[in-house]
């Protein structure tokens, strides 16, 4: 993830705050020790100096969480906090908080005078702590907002759903750090399942192994309650799916629901192999990412549906010529690479203009749909049937030889006459892939010539290009 231009401003803001407090309090030195939480999120974006301790030890974190009053540090406390100052100085401890969030503590070194703080000193340093908290809290908030702004920019481009999901989880991991992994489960409300669709940990080929019930586990709890959670010790939580946690070595996890316009789409997981408390700020960022994910997923689904609609012929419901041309090139390349057979059918409804002229276009459209149904019911689901134009259809038959393609064509020919009302006939041309024709353009051209031969020689029949080509050559020689 590229750098955000606001980073230097945020870092400088915190440094400037420390400098100002040092001058204001006439301190010899000023150091900030931070709690985990918003600092942990923002350290991915900012380069803090040695004056700011971001990755404090568990003992330091415990001290910061426990000591919430202004006081002078004794020797034991200084050892706990790993502070070493000259013997002629005291170190003053000022707890910092912002919008009900504990940020950490400001440590001020000043000349030793009295062993205890006077009341007026406490009032003064309380004001110092308030000003420091406000400045640093606003800087951290700006940092988190800049992260979300950048993530939102990453999600703004149109792309396929799977690509977008992967970008979301990779962005989430980059925001929170490499010690975390992230996953997205999409919700299937029909079968009440949560299906893994993106992961920074599990390989894609194993995603299907992680499909779980939406009525159990921590992810299921989030779906059922539509509420984000942070769990510091998964092993101690009765709601957790322990098999999944053990497999991924999950010790702590934050989960936020992904929704859009009131519709629950899934969940986004952020997990670590270490036990840790998720701060309200971290969950806030995760929830914001989930909201962006909801918008991005809904947009990707709409984009996918628009593409699908462009690939479907609106009258017949089969694929469009555009889809056929895109897909057929891939199939020809695959067949040539693997030495597989491949055949193409070109089909045309005989005298279709007379149907439209005498019976009307509504009847014509109905016959088009009936012919489509016959074709689709007599080919495999892996085969591709497309409307090629007007009353013309094209069928791609991967791994189908010429004799097999002829049998399929003859069956379709007979059933069209029986299953259309009013009954119509069709003409069919067949071309198959071999060493002399190595492109879809050549195959389509050959199938079209075979179709033309069928129509020119009585219609209601199947013609194979190789046979037609030989007959034409014989006639030319005569």
* Residues that are catalytic: 391
Reference 13, options 41, 57, 38, 46; nearest CA is 46
- Please give the Cα distance from 227 to 257 (Å, whole number): 6
Cis peptide before 384 (omega within 30 of 0): no
Distance CA 214, CA 205 (A): 21
Element housing 297 (H / E) = helix 280-311
CA nearest neighbour of 108 among 129, 93, 118: 93
Residue 375, class by beta-carbon neighbours within 10 Å (0-12 exposed, 13-18 middle, 19+ buried)?
buried
CA–CA gap between residue 62 and residue 129 (Å, rounded): 20
H or E segment to which residue 103 belongs = strand 101-111
N-terminal to C-terminal alpha carbon distance within the chain: 73
Could you tell me if 349 and 371 are in contact, meaning their C-beta atoms sit under 8 angstroms apart?
yes
Q: Give the CA diameter of the chain.
A: 124
Q: How far apart are CA 128 and CA 22, in angstroms?
A: 10
Bridge partner list, 464: 430
Helix, strand, coil percentages (3-state) for the chain, rounded to 5, are 50, 20, 30
The DSSP code sequence of 28-45 is SEEEEEE-SSHHHHHTTT
Reference 45, options 7, 1, 2, 9; nearest CA is: 7
User: Collapsing DSSP states into helix, strand and coil, what is residue 274?
Assistant: coil
């Amino acid at each position: 993830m590229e750098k955000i231009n606001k980073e230097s401003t945020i870092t400088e803001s915190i440094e400037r705050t420390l400098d100002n407090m040092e001058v204001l309090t006439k301190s010899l030195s000023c150091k900030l020790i931070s709690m985990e939480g918003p600092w942990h999120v923002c350290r991915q974006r900012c380069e803090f100096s040695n004056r700011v301790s971001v990755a404090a030890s568990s003992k330091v974190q415990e001290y910061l969480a426990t000591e919430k009053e202004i006081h002078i540090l004794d020797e034991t406390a200084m050892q706990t906090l790993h502070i070493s100052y000259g013997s002629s100085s005291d170190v003053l401890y000022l707890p910092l908080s912002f919008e009900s969030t504990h940020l950490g503590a400001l440590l001020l070194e000043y000349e030793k005078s009295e062993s205890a703080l006077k009341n007026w000193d406490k009032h003064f340093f309380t004001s110092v702590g308030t000003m420091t908290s406000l400045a640093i809290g606003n800087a951290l908030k700006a940092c988190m907002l800049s992260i979300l702004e950048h993530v939102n920019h990453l999600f703004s481009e149109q792309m396929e759903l799977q690509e977008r999901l992967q970008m979301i989880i990779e962005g989430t991991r980059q925001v929170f750090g490499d010690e975390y992994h992230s996953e997205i489960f999409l919700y299937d409300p029909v079968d009440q399942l949560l299906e893994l669709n993106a992961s920074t940990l599990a390989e894609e080929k194993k995603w299907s192994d992680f499909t779980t019930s939406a009525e159990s586990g921590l992810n299921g709890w989030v779906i059922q309650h539509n509420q984000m959670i942070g769990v510091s010790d998964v092993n101690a939580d009765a709601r957790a799916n322990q098999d999944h946690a053990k497999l991924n070595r999950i010790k702590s996890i934050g989960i936020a629901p992904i929704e859009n316009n009131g519709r629950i789409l899934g969940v986004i997981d952020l997990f670590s192999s270490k036990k840790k408390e998720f701060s309200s700020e971290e969950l806030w960022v995760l929830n914001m990412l989930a909201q962006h994910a909801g918008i991005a997923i809904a947009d990707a689904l709409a984009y996918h549906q628009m593409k699908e609609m462009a690939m479907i012929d609106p009258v017949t419901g089969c694929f469009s010529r555009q889809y056929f041309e895109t897909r057929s090139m891939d199939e020809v390349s695959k067949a040539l690479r693997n030495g597989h057979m491949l055949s193409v059918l070109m089909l045309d409804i005989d005298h279709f203009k007379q149907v439209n002229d005498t019976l009307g276009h509504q009847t014509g459209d109905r016959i088009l749909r009936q012919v489509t149904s016959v074709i689709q019911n007599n080919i495999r689901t892996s085969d591709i049937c497309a409307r090629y134009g007007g009353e013309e259809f094209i069928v791609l038959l991967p791994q189908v030889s010429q004799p097999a393609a002829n049998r399929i064509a003859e069956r379709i020919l007979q059933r069209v006459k029986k299953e259309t009302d009013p009954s119509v006939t069709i003409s069919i041309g067949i071309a198959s892939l071999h060493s002399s024709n190595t492109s879809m353009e050549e195959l389509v051209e050959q199938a079209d010539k075979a179709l033309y031969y069928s129509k020119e020689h009585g219609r209601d029949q199947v013609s194979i290009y190789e046979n037609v080509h030989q007959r034409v050559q014989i006639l030319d020689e005569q």
